[in-house]
Amino acid sequence: MKLYNDILASLPDGKILEARIGLRWTVVVVETQHGTSCGLVSTLDAGHAHTGKPLIPLAGNLESLSGLEMAHWINSEVPVQRSLGCAAINALLPKHPAQWATENAEHAILRHGKGKKVVLIGHFPFVPRLREELEDFHVLDRNPRGDDLPPEAAPQIIPQAGVVALTGMTFINHSLRDILSLCHKNAFVIILGPTTPLTPVLHAYGVDMLAGLVVEDIPAVVRAVGQGASFRQVRRAGVRLVIQTPGEG
């Protein structure tokens, strides 16, 4: 997958200090020449089996891998390995505080979506507010609720959209490339959510804005993740929401 390999090729290496797979979130802490940083992503369903190959090779000794070795797990066929791979990517990515804005994703969608057809992929908590503010607003979700549409509607609705906002989960479930291929060339494309990699490489693939996060209190966030925290709890533990334009930095 060229998109993933281009991102991997842009990363420095680093030493893994800690890797945790929590109930809802996965974190990887690395040390690079720029210091210590933490990547946070959603935990994909690991499934449950009593026999067969282990889902996580070297479980209990993941620190023996290099950061880049774990980052390459983003290409794995095993969902929970992809979560670890993406968390390693997010930890290794160089940080560019000068390009970070404090605007949240909801406000960015409203700002760019007024008077346009807006498609949001992933049912976020702010969906009801966007429905009230935007006249031509549609949600696609794998588990539709209310007025949501199923993923099968994507080929019909996404090419017509002036703004497409998609969850960072599409990066680890490997649906991102297909969704981007459906977007109109003039559409404003936003990737949002905790899993979102803040990498300028995505600009080359038609992404205009990234709305993700940086972990500021690493020990507190790792502890919260390991104890099954919700995102609200993780955020209170020490996470900062940021917006970054991929072409910058």
Instruction: Give the pLDDT score at 51.
Output: 53
Q: What digits encode the pLDDT tens for the residues 185-235? A: 999 999 999 999 999 999 999 999 999 999 999 999 999 999 999 999 999
Where do the domains of the chain lie, and which CATH numbers do they carry?
Answer: 2-97+214-241 (3.30.390.100), 99-211 (3.40.50.11590)
User: What does the pLDDT profile of the chain (249 residues) look like in tens digits?
Assistant: 799 999 999 999 999 999 999 999 999 999 999 899 999 999 998 665 555 678 898 899 999 999 999 999 999 999 999 999 999 999 999 988 888 887 789 999 999 999 999 999 999 999 999 999 999 999 999 999 999 999 999 999 999 999 999 999 999 999 999 999 999 999 999 999 999 999 999 999 999 999 999 999 999 999 999 999 999 999 999 999 999 876 544
pTM of the predicted model over 0.95: no
Instruction: Give the pLDDT score at 4.
Output: 96
CA distances from 43 to 2, 13, 78, 190 (A): 23, 23, 12, 21
β-strands 239-244, 209-215 pairing: antiparallel
Give dist(CA 119, CA 140) in Å, integer: 7
Give the H or E element holding residue 240.
Answer: strand 239-244
Q: What digits encode the pLDDT tens for the residues 99-108? A: 888 778 999 9
Instruction: Give the pLDDT score at 1.
Output: 78
Instruction: Give the pLDDT score at 249.
Output: 43
User: Could you give phi then psi for residue 230, rounded to 5 degrees?
Assistant: -75, 170
